[in-house]
Amino acid sequence: MKITMRLILVISGFLTLGVNVAQTSDSADKEVYKFKIIKSLPVTPVKDQYKSGTCWSFAATSYFESELMRLGYDTTDISEMYFVYQAYQEKARQYVRHHGNANFGPGGQAHDVLNVIQKHGFTSENEYPGLLKGESKHIHGELDAVLKGYLDALIANKDGKLSQVWFDGYKAILDTYLGPDPAEQKPVASLKPGTDAQYSKFNSEDYIEITSYTHHPFYEAIALEIPDNWSHDLYYNIPVDDLISVINNAINTGYTVCWDGDVSDKGFSHSNGVAIIPVKDMANMEGSERSRWEKLSERERNAELYTFEKPGTEKIITQEMRQEAFDNFQATDDHLMHFTGMVTDQHGTVYYTTKNSWAAGSNKTGGFLNISESYVRLNTIAIMVHKDAVPSSIRKKLKL
């Protein structure tokens, strides 16, 4: 299914009109967030993953839709569930080969989509909606439980060996819940890179994942220890300052970014359209105000810091802070989204315009939010970018 450029412009226009998020006060004198657009890149409409743990597919699919637009192709509504259908098959094989001593669940990473593209290509939403019979939204609780239960029963069986048809049974579950592979049912328009000259400019080998942690050497490819990296794919490890440089350079030169990070932080508020790491500016606080602040409990301080009503001072995040957050499980790989631009607030703080997959009506900004640089520095697990979006100085160190 094709999406006209008019729809893309509608989304961009909505962002322009909705940049002043968190304006809940009727008072004209009360300070609120006022965002200025620095860069806004083409992006397809917000979708809804609803009751499914497939944010990885929604985020990466949106990212590759933007990549196709950047390369000059007509906008295609790519099926998220086709990637889920294919990735779940490989995940099952890995789980069984590890005798159940591996991660098996609905979560994933951006490279799961890329790996499917490289092996199977991609298809349109029209060809493969992947909806349960009788449902208009994705509801996967039963599917997730059935898949896991089936595999665990296989692994625990007393027959001494697996049957030759165990995978056929597993695939039949996927076919029943999500629908069979359209390529197995009838000829469909090929969207597999390399098989159609229409997509000759799209090269799946051009995309890399980047992370930033000190328990591995910098400027090397490492297997990041996160549960959803079930395929043990590699990420380039670089300092956090370089990570921010990659994101900024990408967006400023016309490339969007697929983001994986933690959204359990109390500074994340999708409903208010912002994610922040606020801190009290003690240096500019008068004596009486400082005295009052110091007497407040932690709960009272947080209540003042996390109102999400107006911009304030953002905490300076160091490499050591993000490492501690990763090591103590405060920052986990619990959500993927899509960076599609940059804005600044009235104080000059940088934020990244972010497309979520919780439906366009999930907040007052059309399903988008603005994530501060401090939040990104602390809570980013990894990003996916086109290798040409990486600054030349960093590319040289990575030998790209």
Residues 256-283: pLDDT tens digits? 999 999 999 999 999 999 999 998 765 5
Kindly report, residue by residue over 319-329, the tens digit of the pLDDT. 999 999 999 99
Is 237 within 8 Å of 24 (Cβ atoms)?
A: no
Residue whose C-alpha is closest to residue 281's, from 293, 267, 299: 293
Check residue 199 and give its pLDDT.
73
157 to 172, 189, 372: CA distances (angstroms): 19, 42, 50
Average pLDDT over residues 204-211: 97
Q: What is the CATH number of the domain that holds 387?
A: 3.90.70.10
Q: How many Å apart are CA 374 and CA 278, to the nearest integer? A: 9
Q: Is residue 190 part of a domain?
A: yes
Q: Is residue 53 part of a domain?
A: yes
Is 271 within 8 Å of 251 (Cβ atoms)?
A: no
Q: How many Å apart are CA 397 and CA 246, to the nearest integer? A: 13
Q: At 31, is the pLDDT very low, low, confident or very high (cuts 50, 70, 90)?
A: confident
Pair of tokens at residue 334: 């619990």
DSSP state letters, 88-119: HHHHHHHHHHTTT-S--SS---HHHHHHHHHH
Check residue 198 and give its pLDDT.
64
Range of the domain at 383: 5-23+30-277+314-398
Residues composing the chain: 400
Name the CA radius of gyration of the chain, rounded. Answer: 22
Q: Is residue 299 part of a domain?
A: no
Check residue 25 and give its pLDDT.
42
Check residue 15 and give its pLDDT.
46
Q: How many Å apart are CA 110 and CA 238, to the nearest integer? A: 18
Q: How many Å apart are CA 112 and CA 258, to the nearest integer? A: 13
Q: Is residue 368 part of a domain?
A: yes
Bridging pattern class, strands 36-40 and 335-344: antiparallel
Average pLDDT over residues 155-163: 92
Kindly report, residue by residue over 214-238, the tens digit of the pLDDT. 999 999 999 999 999 999 999 999 9
Q: How many Å apart are CA 265 and CA 251, to the nearest integer? A: 25
Q: How many Å apart are CA 236 and CA 245, to the nearest integer? A: 14
Is 99 within 8 Å of 151 (Cβ atoms)?
A: no
Q: Is residue 305 part of a domain?
A: no
b (16+ CB within 10 A) / e for 216-255? eebeeeeebebebbbeebebbbbebebbbbbbbbbbeeeb
Check residue 197 and give its pLDDT.
55
Q: Is residue 286 part of a domain?
A: no
Is 228 within 8 Å of 333 (Cβ atoms)?
A: yes
Q: How many Å apart are CA 163 and CA 174, to the nearest integer? A: 19
Number of structural domains in the chain:
1
On whether the pTM is more than 0.85, the answer is yes
Beta bridge partners of 314: 278
Across 273-325, where does the E strand assignment appear? 274-275
3-state secondary structure of 372: strand
Q: Is residue 309 part of a domain?
A: no
Q: Is residue 298 part of a domain?
A: no
Beta bridge partners of 139: 51
Kindly report, residue by residue over 279-313, the tens digit of the pLDDT. 876 556 666 666 666 667 778 777 778 889 999 99
3-state secondary structure of 21: coil
